[in-house]
Structure 1
Amino acid sequence: MNDDRSHSSLLVPPSTQDWMQGVLSAKVVLVMYGDYQCSKSADIYKLIKVLKGELSASFGEDDLCFIFRHFPQAQIHPQAQRAAEAAVAAAAQGKFWLMSDTLFDHQQRLENGYLVEYANDLGLDIPQFLKELSKQVYVDRINEDIEGGIESGVTTTPALFINGIRYTERWNTTELMAAMIAASH
């Protein structure tokens, strides 16, 4: 495969196995590879949430599907892997997005004690949460996201793909919104 393509296309297509807000048949499918301890990932995640609200108001609820995939960079963010595991453990109890919001809002405090506190605040079953974290139940699932990202040329976070094409423009509201609107036509 030629190297250019691997860096510009999403090689693992969105599926029902992904964590998503919206439907796969949406006009715009936005895939983000992120790291809970990466400040740029937090900024883009929050920006996407704002844009998602604006796009829903402009177009309609089913016009944007937002997918989050894990890409913890453990070599520079030592708590990112554990935070990703906490998010997936929360997903098992139906609270993926709430946990993701919390992790990005508190990314300076991602040690184990804080993760348990966040899980408790979200009303999760704490014994189940602790058991799944201690047994590293979700490591393989996170590794699937990482491997898919690497196949698609992701080397750092955040990385965005709009309808399967890597977004490489400026990370601001105007340009990201314009790219999503263009992709919807």
Structure 2
Amino acid sequence: MAEIDLDRHWYGAVDAPITLVEYGDFECPYCGAAAPVLRRLVDTSGGMVRLVYRHFPLFDSHPFALTAALAAEAAGDRFWQMHDLLFAHQNRLTDADLDEYAHLIGAGPVTGAAAQEHRPGVEADYASGVEAGVRGTPTLFADGRLYQGKVDLNALRSALGIS
């Protein structure tokens, strides 16, 4: 089996000098609040920051987190569109909801067998998070270093040294 690219879901300039890695859970309200802040950070960084999203479903407390992660993976090149819909509708993550979101963005099947083939990617992300010491979501790493500040635009810009 091919090795999983942990940086496969990136947003921003591929050659940005700063990489911010987020370990997230689509059912986590804190991740939902962080998502637009992180997008705005990238969008206003002038190409300085790229965001990498890695799955860290907290399945013990969030019953739909894993299926949502699998659906996002199954959305393929529409990952970021699905990402945004999942965070916008965190209280509606049943298989029927996921199928509806896939239809809205023009993605193929994102539940059942179609989703299960993406399990290795979600598991690889999760394992890398465990190895990095991730305990909750969202957890951010800036160029490999744990970011412990608030997920606030100004705080992030300051910590990353961008104006």
**TM-score w.r.t. length of structure 1:** 0.80
- Corresponding position: 1:168 with 2:158: no
Residue 54 of structure 2 aligns to which amino acid in structure 1?
A: R
Which residue number in structure 2 is paired with residue 4 of structure 1?
A: none
* Per-residue Cα deviation, 1:129-175 (whole angstroms, up to 9, x for no partner): 65412xx1111110100000011010110000011100012222221
User: Residue 90 of structure 1 contacts residue 129 of structure 1 at CA under 8 Å; is this kept in 2?
Assistant: no
2:92 to 105, 109, 112: 109
SS of corresponding position for 1:142: helix
Q: Distance in 1 between matches of 2:126 and 2:134?
A: 9
Shift of residue 52 of structure 1?
1.4
2:55 to 56, 60, 70: 70
- Corresponding position: 1:121 with 2:104: yes
Which residue number in structure 2 is paired with residue 36 of structure 1?
A: 26
Q: Report the count of equivalent residues.
A: 159
The structure with the larger Rg is 1
1:132 to 102, 114, 119: 114
SS of corresponding position for 2:27: coil
Shift of residue 16 of structure 1?
7.1
Aligned-residue identity in percent: 33
Residue 101 of structure 1 aligns to which amino acid in structure 2?
A: D
User: Residue 12 of structure 2 contacts residue 42 of structure 2 at CA under 8 Å; is this kept in 1?
Assistant: no
**TM-score w.r.t. length of structure 2:** 0.90
RMSD: 1.9
Shift of residue 18 of structure 1?
2.1
Q: Distance in 2 between matches of 1:38 and 1:158?
A: 8
Q: Distance in 2 between matches of 1:120 and 1:129?
A: 12
